[in-house]
Structure 1
């Protein structure tokens, strides 16, 4: 519910409000309101709400969660300058090679597809950012990353810390009575060890004349130009790494889940791939424009289960008014894109006024109309980059993550709250409203969607004891502003022996590309590389 200027309550409104202690939370549920408030009025909705834990861990340098400060502007300006479509094109070889290893890994141990997807998403972004790949899930940097992430998530679980942003006096409780302070310090140290270790490795490699064109090399070369010290540079790379290591995996997990649950969509996509690509070669990026149904599958996956149902919240820097509803300065703004959880209503992508049977996964809707909306319904406010964020503070990029909790108090009881996990899910391209399409995210999604549907059949797994098929639950998702399906079982079967041979051959041919990003490997990683270096 929300209130207009006269204080009267309304029901069907484009945005609603609730009290957050002394502040106000606004939830946008309408595409037109989203475009007006977050794009056209982005000058006053660009900020982020206070987040003491995020600032304590990252020193106020988490680009996605930080307030609208000079450091934030420096980070954003640098990211906007270096993350160009031309740079994305330069990194296509390693992106394609990593995608081939994902296929190869799934051939070897399909039951471990969750782990394979996580290794892939972490390795591809580490290669692009730091010029260093992770050939195994057990690679030291991958292990360190997921350990640091696990600590970060535990720290930010509901109840792990007091409501520090609402009751600031709690920040001054002595450490002996505030064990969360130890957790903050440990998490901060592990993140810094990872971020600055990777940054220093990159700098040492540059000094040795072993540059491979990664993003952070460009940043290091241009530090003075960007006005960045070592601290800001380290956190720029670290936050982009976090942002990159989960968004792609979340999308691919949702894609596979949808293919298992809705086999008719999978059948249509594979028929199109067989017609355009055929069984004698692996798809290339040049094929995507000839695959309208596959493109519709990608868009429908984002609509059906967007990576960020509530997006990353914004905050207003000045009072605003929209259709008679007053939004105070300092309000926290959420954008509700999807009705995924029973206690979160509505959702722009699940609005029955816009979409026919929105609860059904149906890529055909994007064949019928440009934006997937009902025929005759204006869907122009649903811009294609919406799943990656909105407003100036969106960094339309590909990977994610940072997680932090907000305690959202209702006006009824100061002891009842909704814990909302906020994760950075934004990673690699442009940054202003109305910006160009997300080149890296689109590339990774296109490559992997084509590859997976070309190579494999995804179906329900069989119970080993009863032989009965096991249903999957398309609503069983981890809670959070950025979310992913909970682990599920499915059968992954190669579509033909010829496809298996092609994947194996291309994996071995990719070794030359991999070698440019393999330095400082452990003995175990070196042994893995030697094992597969020759066919």
Structure 2
């Protein structure tokens, strides 16, 4: 009997070793993918920045539907539009969840509409967001969008070298006005600078691979903060967000109490909190996530647009020729003109394709096990939709690394003639399934208005060297983060005519009444700026 004990212990030890060493291995039935190593799986090769590039490289090797192992967890990467359509749209009820996100939850308390799990809290936040962001409701916000777009033109006209920040100011001011009834006349307006500073921190820590894999190795939660910079970064980001989001909420509440309503969205939320089932924490974070969605993504698109117009003069010239035929030089374009501007519409779609604002969209997770093409997708699997890889697939798109709006004139979804592009759709850059961006209509209006305005008003050219030779901008120099925007770059911007410059000046004056409804609580510097701009 005593001799059996060591044997039994030895067998148990070997069994445990085998079980431990099998952690990280790809289970039978999973889609193929890169080779794994014990315990880590593919964690040691998971990209820590610009994940879409590595995801695309693997897709070309393992196919548009492959898997990665992160310890015992499973990640599925989709770089195939047919797989995206089936799993994310047609099977959206099962892929509506988000994976556990300890990092994000430690910042937002699980109340980020974008990052939250599929719970009743998420459904409450989503319903509230939809009440303002329907196509019909979005029409109500066109006056301030058009007015802010006019100031954007004037800002670029008077200080063209500051265009990068002017684009950010526009996007921030529109969403602040819509949500809180309070605009930002300058990029230096306190709320705008506070947002972009906090957003930079937020995007840096939620970028795939940027922080330790706490969700796959929960023991990391117990690492003391003094040894975990990522914990200190989370605490810093949480404070920055809360100072801004709840400061704006409380300011709006005080303004409503004084009877100074101006029709902003958060006024409705505050009036109907109980009916909506929302407490102060939910209201504060709802406003915050809508600021994020309305500011960063729109400005990133517009920055990419300017970069593309600068780098691809032929596309700019064709868009200007079309604009001149349809609109002329006597007035600014309107949204109604867009139906008669097919090349401009194609240029907008090509900007989304060329450098998607969210290259891997936002991660999803399965609520139950599923199957696709004979492969198993486990319950709780994390799913990445590699939008960049799809949009840059040479099997789908002719010369995908170049900016060619005409591809969307040849076929509906820009694919090669003869290639089936029916699994793609024009809204793909805004997300998939039930998690598609709720602000798509508001954002689309901003994109359309400003794209037409910029093409109509300005000539964008590369800077030149000492010999007068153009210096082509780097169209691949993008900032790291879950939202992809070009790093600050230089270009020469000039008005296309004095006539157009005069129209911009007049339009800014005409927008004064619209602006005044949203100009409360301005800083002394903002008031001075506003007064000078209207002198």
Query: What is the TM-score with the length of structure 1 in the denominator?
Result: 0.86
Which has the larger displacement, 144-153 or 512-521?
Answer: 144-153
Q: Gapped runs of 5+ residues in structure 1?
A: 339-346, 397-427, 429-437
Match of 2:382 among 332, 350, 357: 332
Aligned pair partner of 1:285 in 320, 335, 340: 335
1:355 aligns with: 397
Q: Tell me the equivalent position of 2:311.
A: 261
From 6, 15, 29, the counterpart of 1:5: 29
Measured after TM superposition, the shift of residue 25 of structure 1 is: 1.0
Which 10-residue stretch deviates more, 494-503 or 147-156?
147-156
* 1:372 match: 414
Match of 1:197 in 2: 247
- Following the alignment from structure 1 to structure 2, what is the Cα–Cα distance between the partners of residues 479 and 150? 10
Aligned pair 1:225/2:275, yes or no?
Answer: yes
Contact 2:31 2:67 in 1 (8 A): no
Q: Which residue is 1:402 aligned to?
A: none
Aligned to 1:95: 145
- 3-state SS of the aligned residue for 1:44? coil
Report the CA distance between 1:390 and its aligned residue. Answer: 0.4
CA 1:451/1:42 → structure 2, altered by over 3 Å: closer, same or farther? same
Shift of 1:242: 1.4
SS in structure 2 at match of 1:392: helix
Greater than 4 Å deviation, 4+ residue runs: 6-12, 153-161
Q: Which residue of 2 aligns with 1:186?
A: 236
Give the Cα–Cα distance (whole angstroms) in 2 for the partners of residues 296 and 148 of structure 1.
Answer: 34
Q: Do structure 1's residue 133 and structure 2's residue 133 form an aligned pair?
A: no
How far the C-alpha of 1:8 sits from its partner, in A, is: 6.9
Rounded to whole Å, the distance in 2 between the matches of 1:29 and 1:3 is: 21
- Work out whether residues 4 and 325 of structure 1, in 8 Å CA contact, stay in contact via their aligned partners in 2: no
Summarize the Cα distance change of 1:452–1:174 in structure 2 as closer, same or farther, 3 Å threshold: same
Equivalent residue number for residue 452 of structure 1: 454
**Equivalent residue number for residue 434 of structure 2:** 392
1:461 equivalent in alignment to 2:451 = no
1:111-141 deviations in whole A, cap 9, x for unaligned? 1111111111111111111110000111111
**Are the aligned partners of 1:3 and 1:9 in contact in 2 as well (CA < 8 Å)?**
no
Out of 217, 229, 245, the position equivalent to 1:167 is: 217
* Deviation at residue 316 of structure 1 after TM alignment: 1.0
> What's the CA shift for 1:155?
5.0
Partner of 1:495: 496
Alpha carbons of structure 1 residues 159 and 267: separation in structure 2 relative to 1, 3 Å: closer
| 2:170 counterpart of 1:120 | yes
Deviation at 1:7, TM superposition (A): 7.7
Give me the whole-angstrom Cα distance separating, in 2, the residues matched to 1:161 and 1:387.
Answer: 25
TM-superposed CA distance for 1:150, in Å, is 3.6
RMSD: 2.0
5+ unaligned residues in a row in structure 2: which ranges?
A: 1-25, 35-60
After superposition, the Cα gap between the structure-2 partners of 1:27 and 1:7, relative to the gap in structure 1 and judged at 3 Å, is closer
Q: Which residue of 1 aligns with 2:85?
A: 35
Q: How far apart in 2 are the matches of 1:64 and 1:316?
A: 16
Q: 1:269 is paired with a residue of what secondary structure?
A: helix
Output the CA distance in 1 between the equivalents of 2:294 and 2:454. Answer: 20
| Alpha-carbon distance between aligned partners in 2 of 1:301 and 1:357, rounded to the nearest angstrom | 15
Q: Distance in 1 between matches of 2:456 and 2:477?
A: 26
2:533 maps to which residue?
532
Q: Say which SS state the counterpart of residue 136 (structure 1) adopts.
A: coil
Query: Aligned partners of 1:130, 1:219: CA distance in 2, in Å?
Result: 11
Distance 1:125 1:487 in 2: 22
Q: Residues of 2 paired with 1:204 and 1:127: CA distance?
A: 16
SS in 2 for 1:81: helix
Quick check: which has more Rg, 1 or 2? 2
Q: Does the 8 Å CA contact 1:82/1:219 hold for their aligned counterparts? A: no
Whole-angstrom distance in 2 between the partners of 1:154 and 1:45: 25
Determine the C-alpha separation between the residues in 2 that align with 1:505 and 1:143: 29
Identify if the C-alpha distance between structure 1 residues 151 and 307 changes in structure 2 by more than 3 Å, giving closer, same or farther.
closer
Change (3 A) 1:182 1:372: closer
Q: 1:234 to 1:361 in 2, by over 3 A?
A: same
Q: Equivalents in 2 of 1:168, 1:395: separation in Å?
A: 30
Deviation larger for 303-312 or 153-162: 153-162
Greater alpha carbon shift after TM alignment, 113-122 vs 447-456: 113-122
Question: 1:388 and 1:225 mapped to 2: Cα distance?
Answer: 29
CA distance in 1, matches of 2:298, 2:209: 29
Q: 1:174 to 1:5 in 2, by over 3 A?
A: closer
1:60-114 CA-to-partner distances (Å, cap 9, x unmatched) read 0011111112211111121122322222111111000100111101011111111
Equivalent pair of 1:63/1:236 in contact (CA under 8 Å): yes
The alpha-carbon deviation at position 395 of structure 1 amounts to 2.2
Deviation at 1:220, TM superposition (A): 1.7
Report 1:479-518 matches (<5 A).
Answer: 479-518=480-519
Contact 1:311 1:335 in 2 (8 A): yes
Contact 1:310 1:482 in 2 (8 A): no
Q: 1:311-330 to 2 correspondence within 5 Å?
A: 311-330=361-380
CA contact (8 A) 1:106 1:112 kept: yes
Give the counterpart of 1:440 among 439, 442, 449. Answer: 442
Alpha-carbon deviation of 1:176? 3.9
Aligned partner of 1:404 in structure 2 is none
Report deviation, 1:449: 0.4
Kept in 2: contact 1:82–1:218 (CA 8 A): no
Alpha-carbon distance in structure 2 between the residues aligned to 1:508 and 1:8: 61
